[in-house]
Amino acid sequence: MANPRILVFAGSHRAGSINTRLAGIVVKELAMMDVPVTQISLADYPMPLYDGDLEAASGQPETAKALHRLITEHQGVFIASPEYNAGMTGLLKNTIDWVSRIKTQPSPWKGRAYAIGAASGGNLGGYRGLLQLRQTLGLGLGATVIPEMTVVMRAGDAFAEHGGFKDEAMTNTMRTMLTRLVDEAARYVR
Ligand SMILES: Cc1cc2nc3c(=O)[nH]c(=O)nc-3n(C[C@H](O)[C@H](O)[C@H](O)COP(=O)(O)O)c2cc1C
């Protein structure tokens, strides 16, 4: 069976974003597994704050349509999601909300597998924000979100110079997640 294509992005486009760094490690790891991977930055998909009046007047932003299309061209998605006040970032939620307003088929939520991860300087590693993201993707949009996650705690000291993690256990956790993601996504390769 052909390898599935995996899309990777972070819920932050801040210069120096630790979640973009996590996304980069995932991209490198997938490339080492010979899995075709696309990494994007949400900075390239700017969207106004969701407003029903704006949508009624002008429809959905072209950037939301482009992201909708891009997701449907992949069988797996990894999102590195920072935690803001125990939830996901406004950037990520707003992006998901706009994309969810586009009803053209195929659906960007169904017919593919999602994996999620987070990095934070705190002791919980952004875990609580992932619970919200899982709820939005799974309960809100019907996406399949695999149980395995990559949660990078105390991120200030977690990343190694060469681009991976200092902790081998963290590397193994990520590999377990990616193996499951690729396996699940492979079921959707047509
Ligand atoms: C508004 C705001 C709320 C935050 N809330 C949390 C939080 O609940 N838990 C946490 O671990 N970190 C929290 N942080 C810290 C972020 O995890 C930290 O800024 C992280 O670097 C953001 O991700 P990024 O580097 O990928 O942009 C918060 C930061 C901001 C700006």
Q: List pLDDT tens digits, range 55-92.
A: 999 999 999 999 999 999 999 999 999 999 999 999 99
Average pLDDT of the residues in 26-33: 97
Partners of 37 in the β-ladder: 6
Question: For residue 81, how far is its CA from the centre of ligand 1 (angstroms)?
Answer: 10
What is residue 162's predicted lDDT score, i.e. its pLDDT? 85
Nearest CA to ligand 1 atom 23: 82
Instruction: For 151-164, write each residue's pLDDT tens digit.
Output: 999 999 999 998 89
Q: What is the domain class of 6-186 according to CATH?
A: alpha beta
- Token reading at 24: 């980069």
Question: For residue 188, how far is its CA from the centre of ligand 1 (angstroms)?
Answer: 34
What is residue 1's predicted lDDT score, i.e. its pLDDT? 61
- Token reading at 164: 């991976």
What is residue 163's predicted lDDT score, i.e. its pLDDT? 87
